Amino acid sequence: MLPITNFEFCRNSSIITKNFYKKATIYVLGADKGDFLPDYELTNKGVGLPASWEYGYTKGMAIWCNAVVYWLEVW
């Protein structure tokens, strides 16, 4: 299972509805484990992910109705 972003940042828009996670088409365009920000002190350290994903990144897009949401997260 690959990590996807938490789409709560879209909550104030009309994009996210209660059916979003069931009906949206979500594409993970890349994800990998590893420390990609060695000089930066990270506080969340992959919260909610398995220990092997303590550091990493995920990027992708979600298509829902007439909207496309792109994401890139590094932790």
Q: Is the pTM of this model over 0.85?
A: no
Q: Is the residue at 1 inside a domain?
A: no
Residues composing the chain:
75
Q: Which helix (H) or strand (E) holds 20?
A: helix 20-23
Q: Is residue 44 part of a domain?
A: yes
Report the number of distinct structural domains present in the chain. Answer: 1
Residue 15: what pLDDT? 64
Can you tell me whether residue 2 is helix, strand or coil?
coil
Range of the domain at 54: 7-74
| Tens digits of pLDDT across the chain (75 residues) | 778 887 776 666 666 667 777 888 999 999 988 776 655 555 555 556 677 777 788 899 999 888 888 888 887
Q: Does residue 46 come out as left (phi exceeding 0), alpha (psi in the -120 to 50 range) or beta?
A: left
